[in-house]
């Protein structure tokens, strides 16, 4: 088990080495994405790659990851950069001028797999669909990869040198493959082939197929990325293909996949935030000087105040009222904010929440007595009565309803958070309500999920409300949201 250093052929990494240059570019790109790779970590990575065989791509990848990426949330971003910088390159990945290219390795495998013509022929759409179906049915990884490669060649319509990102090609490929239909077909086959399958079995198989299809999508994405990089070079593509870290994903423009990663990211985030706030409370122990007590204790030292005494601090626990716009594009933002506020609700003495579009409804009860915040948020979306006339945002009317029904509950300990983009569809702003609420409340904060440069453009009227708030904040991603909530508690 014990071996000496000399047994292992170490890879010399020296200045001017192409590998070193590539690694430098790679690390620069990681930093550009937002992964904090420090200088020492950089050196560790250089050291680490000396010890692993470069031919083993997986081990190489993990060696880099172990030294450079110290946060699981950054993994996906790292992986994308890695794929761009260290992708397999070669003639077979180039984008062919015509799609009818010579046989490559993929075709060879396909031909060996079945009874379809000679290796040089292009598969017909039906044959490709059949191959895909069989690959998914059997869960054959090799065949799936070949199918993905073929699908990209056929459907993505990639043209050399065209400056588009991968998403467009991905969309084109997936649209042509009709994976929903394939799934239905797979399930149908499962239902009919074997006699004694019950619903439970079917459910498990469906999960299996869904995962295989997800794998296929990943393969297709990887294939497109490989071809793009082969075509336009590493530097150009690294920027285009850059994936934001979960905490940097914009609430308003998150794709479905990004939403999923946001939902996943919010759990650890709330847990950490809660832990930090508890600690903050406990450590900020010293209150103001207690003069009376200090004098009393100084008596035992002959009147010299040797031991200053401090008052027990009374940490301020605010009442929170969240008033959130849940229309269309800002709904996701409202959801995450509600989620975060309720997850740390123990830091507040009371949390009440209201949602509105043009009408307004209190949803506090949805969150009470349940420990599944995601479920409660879902109920807010489906059950709350927020539409008054047409279901287009009307801040003026919604605030009016708030004022009429709940203004009495706003007291000097209340912090009111208003969430929304203030796109009022040219209704009356009724900004006097915000002013009046502020006079009764401790603080009124407005959180806007739009970039600051869009404020007060078009029908956005943040400017009307802003003078009456204690602060208006741009909160576009989890990072900003966390920072705000941290300050609040």
Assess contact for 142 and 148: CB atoms under 8 A. no
Q: Among residues 142, 307, 368, 372, which is the contact residue for another protein, using CB under 8 A?
A: 372
Residue 485, interface with another protein (CB under 8 A)? no
The distance of Cα 408 from the centroid of its chain, to the nearest Å, equals 39
Q: Give CA separation, 157 vs 151, 177, 254, in Å.
A: 10, 14, 26
Select 51 or 292, whichever has its Cβ closest to another protein: 51
Residue 36 lies near another protein (rule: CB under 8 A): yes
* Least distance from another protein to the Cβ atom of residue 64, Å: 10
Q: Taking CB under 8 A as the rule, does residue 292 contact another protein?
A: no
CB atoms inside a 10 Å sphere around CB 92: 18
Among residues 99, 142, 207, 385, the one that binds another protein under rule CB under 8 A = 207
Tokens of 329: 């594009």
**Closest distance to another protein from the beta carbon of 23 (Å):** 16
Q: With H, G, I as helix, E, B as strand and everything else as coil, classify residue 109.
A: helix
Count Cβ atoms below 10 Å from residue 448 Cβ, excluding itself.
26
- Using CB under 8 A, pick the residue from 19, 20, 52, 436 that binds another protein: 52
The reply to whether 338 sits near another protein by the rule CB under 8 A is no
From 45-53, 82-90, 326-334, 405-413, span contacting another protein (CB under 8 A): 45-53
Interface with another protein, residue 15, by CB under 8 A: no
The residues facing 323 across adjacent strands are 354, 418
Q: Establish if 44 lies at the interface with another protein (CB under 8 A).
A: yes
Q: Looking at 35-43, 90-98, 114-122, 150-158, which segment touches another protein (CB under 8 A)?
A: 35-43
Nearer to another protein, 59 or 381 (CB): 59
Name which of 89 and 271 has its Cβ closer to another protein.
271
Told to check if 486 binds another protein by CB under 8 A, we report: no
Size of the site for another protein (CB under 8 A): 56
Rounded least distance, CB 236 to another protein, Å: 29
d(CA 455, CA 450): 7
In the complex with another protein, which residue's Cβ is closer, 273 or 360?
A: 273
Residue 284 interacting with another protein (CB under 8 A)? no
* Binding flag, residue 204, another protein (CB under 8 A): yes
Beta strands in 330-437 (DSSP E): 350-356, 360-362, 414-419
Residue whose token pair is 């002013």: 435
- CA–chain centroid gap for 365, Å, is 28
Among 388, 350, 342, 391, which Cα is nearest to 367's?
342
Query: For the packed helices 39-51 and 57-68, what is the interaxial angle rounded to 10 degrees?
Result: 160
Site for another protein in 57-86 (CB under 8 A): 58-59, 61-63, 65-67, 69-72, 75
- Per rule CB under 8 A, is residue 194 in the interface with another protein? no
- Give me the DSSP letters along 32-55: HHT----HHHHHHHHHHHHHS-TT
| Closest listed residue to residue 398, CA positions, set 366, 434, 365, 371 | 434
The window from 149-157, 352-360, 370-378, 479-487 that contacts another protein (CB under 8 A) reads 370-378
115 counts as binding another protein under rule CB under 8 A:
no
Instruction: Output the smallest distance, CB 386 to another protein, in A.
Output: 24
Non-local (6+) Cβ contacts of 387 within 8 A are 357, 358, 359
Nearer to another protein, 235 or 375 (CB): 375
Sort strands 471-474 and 443-448 into parallel, antiparallel or unpaired: parallel
Q: Are 286 and 341 in contact (CB under 8 A)?
A: no
Q: Which of positions 240-279 make contact with another protein (CB under 8 A)?
A: 263, 268, 271-272, 275-276, 279
CB of 136 to another protein, least distance (A): 14
Where does residue 207 rank: exposed (0-12), middle (13-18), buried (19+ CB within 10 A)? exposed
Cα–Cα dist 151/174, whole Å: 9
Q: Cβ 351 to another protein, closest distance in Å?
A: 20
Of 44 and 101, the one with the shorter C-beta distance to another protein is 44
Q: Where does this chain bind another protein (CB under 8 A)?
A: 1-5, 7-8, 36, 38, 40-41, 44, 47-48, 51-53, 56, 58-59, 61-63, 65-67, 69-72, 75, 198-204, 206-211, 263, 268, 271-272, 275-276, 279, 370-372, 374-375
């Amino acid at each position: 088990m014990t071996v000496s250093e000399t047994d292992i052929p170490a890879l010399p990494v020296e200045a001017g080495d192409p590998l070193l240059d590539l690694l430098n570019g790679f690390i620069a790109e990681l930093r550009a994405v937002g992964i904090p790779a420090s200088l020492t970590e950089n050196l560790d990575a250089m050291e680490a790659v000396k010890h692993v065989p470069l031919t083993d791509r997986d081990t190489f990848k993990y060696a880099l990851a172990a030294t450079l990426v110290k946060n699981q949330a950054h993994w996906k971003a790292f992986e994308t950069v890695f794929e761009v910088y260290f992708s397999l390159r070669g003639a077979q990945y180039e984008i062919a001028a015509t799609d009818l290219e010579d046989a490559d390795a993929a075709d060879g495998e396909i031909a060996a797999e079945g009874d379809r013509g000679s290796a040089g022929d292009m598969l017909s759409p039906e044959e490709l669909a059949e191959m895909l179906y069989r690959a998914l049915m059997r869960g054959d990884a090799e065949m799936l990869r070949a199918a993905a490669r073929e699908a990209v060649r056929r459907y993505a319509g990639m043209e050399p040198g065209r400056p588009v990102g991968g998403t467009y090609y991905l969309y084109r490929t997936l649209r042509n493959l009709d994976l929903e239909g394939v799934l239905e077909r797979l399930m149908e086959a499962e239902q009919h082939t074997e006699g004694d399958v019950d619903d439970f079995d079917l459910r498990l198989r469906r999960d299996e197929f869904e995962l295989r299809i997800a794998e296929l999508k990943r393969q297709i994405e990887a294939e497109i990325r490989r071809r793009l990089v082969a075509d336009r070079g590493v530097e150009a593509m690294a920027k285009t293909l850059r994936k934001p870290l979960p905490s940097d994903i914009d609430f308003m423009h998150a794709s479905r996949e990004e939403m999923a990663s946001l939902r996943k990211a919010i759990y650890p985030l709330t847990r950490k935030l809660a832990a930090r706030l508890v600690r903050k409370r406990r450590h900020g122990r010293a209150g103001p000087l207690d003069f009376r007590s200090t004098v009393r204790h100084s008596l035992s030292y002959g009147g010299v105040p040797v031991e200053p005494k401090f008052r027990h601090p009374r940490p301020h626990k605010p009442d929170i009222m969240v008033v959130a716009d849940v229309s269309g594009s800002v709904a996701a933002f409202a959801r995450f904010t509600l989620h975060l506020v309720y997850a740390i609700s123990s830091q507040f003495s009371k949390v009440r929440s209201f949602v509105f579009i043009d009408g307004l409804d209190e949803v506090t009860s949805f969150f009470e007595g349940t420990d599944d915040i995601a479920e409660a948020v879902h109920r807010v979306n489906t059950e709350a009565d927020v539409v008054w006339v047409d279901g287009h945002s009307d801040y003026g009317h919604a605030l009016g309803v708030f004022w009429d029904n709940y203004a009495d509950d706003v007291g000097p300990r209340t912090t009111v958070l208003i969430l929304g983009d203030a796109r009022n569809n040219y209704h009356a702003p009724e900004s006097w309500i915000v002013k009046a609420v502020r006079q009764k409340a401790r603080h009124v904060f407005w959180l806007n999920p739009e970039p600051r440069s869009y404020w007060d453009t078009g029908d956005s009227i943040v400017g009307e409300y802003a003078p009456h708030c204690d602060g208006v904040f741009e909160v576009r991603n989890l990072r900003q949201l966390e920072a705000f909530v941290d300050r609040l508690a």
